[in-house]
Chains A and B, each alone.
Chain A
Amino acid sequence: MEPVMAIAIGIMYAAAIFLMLRRSIVKLVIGLMLLSNAANMLIFTSAGMTRGAPPLIPEGMLAPEGAVADPLPQAVVLTAIVIAFGVLAFAVVLIRRAYEIVKADDLDKMKDTDT
């Protein structure tokens, strides 16, 4: 399973970087979204994937029996998703405002700060 995931994540990163290199700010934001999702998938995968073994402790015991899935990366990914959601929501609003003010969906037209 991990090799397939690794390849899929690689493609996600590549696609995200490609989108971010485009001049359109809409594609830039889509690239950012894809990039943060790719990072989440990477955390999920790199921590090791365990099928069908939830980290539940049977009643009356102090530790789970046998190998179970690691709950920590899932908690980390969950946090990262929430953060990415908030930040990207901001980014979407930002490009909308920028589009209204600059009246162009083109990064090449945003040169006011480059003088």
Chain B
Amino acid sequence: MRPEVALPVLLPLLSGAISLLFWRSRPMQRFTAVAGNIGLLVVSLWLFTSVYQDGYVTIQMGGWEAPYGITLVADMLSAVMIVMTALIGMVIAIYSLASTGPDHEKFGYYPLMHLLLAGVAGAFLTGDIFNLYVWFEVMLVASFALLILGGEKAQMEGAIKYVTLNLLASVIFLTAIGLTYGMVGTLNMADIALRLHEAEHQGMVEVLAVMFMVAFGIKAAAFPLFFWLPASYHTPPVAVSALFAGLLTKVGVYALFRVFTLMFDDTLDYTQDLLIWGAALTMVTGVLGAAAQFEFRRILSFHIVSQIGYMILGLALYTPLAIAGGIFAVMHNIVVKTNLFLISGITRRLQGTYQLKKMGGLYKERPWLAVAFFLSAFSLAGIPPLSGFFAKFVIVRAGIEAEAYVVTGIALAVGLMTLYSMVKIWNEVFWKALPEDNLVPEQETVVGDDGRMVKPSLWLMTLPVGALAALSLLIGVFAEPLMLVMNLIGDQLMHPEGYIHAVMGGGVDVSEALIEAPASEEGTP
């Protein structure tokens, strides 16, 4: 029995339930949000240490052995993603205390947040493809409700696009699951992986691979399937934006990594080109889209798309180093992107708008906020020694080793373009003087996204921002031990036998060869 695998799913569900019980009590909901997420963080670290020791940790739900029951399985990738989920959940919970007004809290903001985290954690941990679909839906339903919390016009319009395209992706995903089951007669991912290699119609396997690619491509907001993201992510309350930006698309990326390294590694000679060029175009369109925007959160939304390109490029190059780089990018991006959204919330609180043209002068007014933004933004652009540099460095190095020069060149150029957008925000928000026609509201009338915030307690908002900015710096400074973990992930994903063995062997029987294999040191800077 390894309870730590199931706890990251159960705990948010439990906190969500407790939160629902105290529907009328705002203080209790707020307390549960913070306490629940502290618990989640503790459990996720527990899971991380056991996975770090054992390589794979599995639990067969209800005692039904794989492949008949549902398996929860954590490998290094899952464990890292769970830790990041818990971290972001924690940060958002604290930030929400100050940024989310009573108007939103009254309508189930905290229960939905717990439910969303449960869905995300479930998606990271499940070893069953249909169960993955179910967790995706749990996450989606919670995100739908969070997205329209407040019910403004822009939110409704954004939500229609978000809901439609995400449901379409779900149906494609479900269709692919149905066809996969028709071919191999099993839903356990490890079992599917074994049987797909022996499948008669390899052409059909390729069709399935592309269907999964499209379904997860929509969820991950890859080119040309990203349109729902910039249309909706800037509409909800800012804490919700930040939560979505940090986690939701990454679940799609995780699913891509999982199915393409585990189930469809045979189809790579066909799908690899699709992935590589998809990744390149995702990077370019995202960054170009951002260049045209002058609204804080819309710029950031387009940059999510652009950064997804780097992650998918890591998968597409398909070497252990590239995958390590891709996951490093995921981890770095979760921290940095969430933080940028949180900062946009603070600047909006201070100046009453997200429009860059109307903002200014914050460098003088809030130098520490400027520093936090500087760290995050330049980390996103990949300036050493911040976290983004190492993510980019590893991917670029893997690209050169794989002799994919064109894509690598694109990746570098996109880094420069990212810098352009970030400098634009820096200039407009922090550097230039406040435009005279902007009437900065007095502190008393400053409102959350709801319109009736009484007294803004800014330190609850700046605390998470400072923590995440420091984390981004720390990831950069301590890149080497992290890179060891990432290389371990790369090794595990490139050798799915270990995963299959852990799931099908029924227990924590670790393939020693996999864990002891010397993590390739060449990626460490």
Contacts and interface: CB of A to CB of B under 8 A. Distances in A.
Interface of A: 20, 25, 28, 32, 35-36, 38-40, 42-44, 46-48, 70, 72-73, 76, 79-80, 83, 86-87, 90-91, 94-95, 97-98, 101-102, 107, 110-115
19 contacts: A28-B160, A32-B167, A35-B171, A36-B171, A42-B179, A48-B182, A72-B187, A76-B178, A87-B167, A91-B164, A94-B144, A98-B156, A98-B160, A107-B160, A110-B160, A113-B154, A113-B161, A113-B234, A113-B235
Contact of B174 (A32, A80, A94, A97): A80
Contacts of B152: 101
Contacts of A107: 160
B71 to A, nearest CB: 15
Contact of A79 (B130, B163, B234): B130
Nearest to A16: B171
B305 to A, nearest CB: 15
Interface of B: 130, 133-134, 137, 140-141, 144-145, 148, 151-154, 156-161, 163-164, 167-168, 170-171, 174-175, 177-179, 181-182, 185, 187, 231-232, 234-235, 295
Nearest to B68: A72
B137 A101 contact: no
A91 B157 CA distance: 12
A113 B148 contact: no
Contacts of A25: 160
Interface centre among A48, A70, A86, A113 (most CB of B within 10 A): A113
B159 A94 contact: yes
A40 B144 CA distance: 22
A36 to B, nearest CB: 6
Contact of A47 (B144, B145, B161, B178): B178
A40 B175 CA distance: 8
Contacts, number: 107
Contacts of A97: 148, 151, 156
A32 B164 contact: yes
A83 B174 CA distance: 11
Given A43-B174, A46-B182, A94-B148, A112 B141 contact: no
Given A101-B152, A111-B157, 10 more contacts: A46-B179, A46-B181, A47-B181, A47-B185, A79-B130, A79-B134, A80-B133, A90-B141, A94-B156, A110-B160
Contacts of B163: 90-91, 94
Contacts of A80: 133, 174
A48 B185 CA distance: 10
Contacts of A111: 157
Contacts of A47: 178, 181-182, 185
B400 to A, nearest CB: 39
Contacts of A73: 178, 181
A94 to B, nearest CB: 6
Contact of A35 (B141, B168, B231): B168
Contacts of A48: 182
Contacts of A94: 144, 148, 156, 159-160, 163
Contacts of A20: 164, 168
A87 B145 CA distance: 10
Contacts of A32: 164, 167-168
Contact of B158 (A28, A43, A87, A113): A113
Given A79-B130, A97-B156, A98-B159, A91 B178 contact: no
A95 B130 CA distance: 28
A79 to B, nearest CB: 7
A91 B130 CA distance: 22
Contacts of B235: 113
B144 A39 contact: no
A35 B159 CA distance: 19
A33 B168 CA distance: 10
Given A25-B160, A95-B160, A42 B154 contact: no
A87 B182 CA distance: 25
A11 B292 CA distance: 41
B164 A46 contact: no
B130 A76 contact: yes
Contacts of A79: 130, 134
B63 to A, nearest CB: 17
Nearest to B230: A113
Contacts of B177: 43, 76
Contacts of B168: 20, 32, 35
Given A94-B163, A98-B159, A43 B141 contact: no
Contacts of B295: 115
Nearest to A28: B164
A111 B231 CA distance: 9
Contacts of B185: 47, 70
A113 B157 contact: yes
Given A46-B179, A97-B151, A114-B231, A83 B137 contact: yes
Nearest to B186: A72
Contacts of B159: 94, 98
B211 to A, nearest CB: 11
